[in-house]
Amino acid sequence: QVHLVESGGGLVQPGGSLRLSCAASGSIFSINVMGWYRQAPGKQRDLVASASRVGSTNYADSVKGRFTISRDNAKKTVYLEMNSLKPEDTAVYYCNAAAVVSRWSGFEDNFWGQGIQVTVSS
């Protein structure tokens, strides 16, 4: 079982910044990809950014140039630095990990954090 715990959310004014953190724990053989998704009320959960264990990154078009994802593999932690925040960024942000739990099977599964609220408002 992989547990993901998010932190760093909250209320921020437009143009401000926040840094989200997500730490993974549990019995894990390897974490292939870690990323962040977000879901606003009445909308589907969409990818914000993801990062492979070797540093490849992927971003949604709406956050390119404003958000930066990074990983600390030793700490099993992924970060999302959010700058120039807009009201449209308001959502619940979910940490995701694509991980292999068993070295014997090699099968990859997805795990989700509880979600953390980010509100951008004056």
Q: Could you read off the pLDDT of 22-75 as tens digits, one per residue?
A: 999 998 999 999 999 999 999 999 999 999 999 899 999 999 999 999 999 999
Q: What is the pLDDT of residues 3-15, one digit of tens each?
A: 999 999 999 999 9
CA 103 to chain centre: 24
Residue whose tokens read 């739990």: 101
For residue 17, the model assigns a pLDDT of 98
**Segment 82-119, tens digit of pLDDT:** 999 999 999 999 999 999 998 888 899 999 999 999 99
pLDDT of residue 1: 78
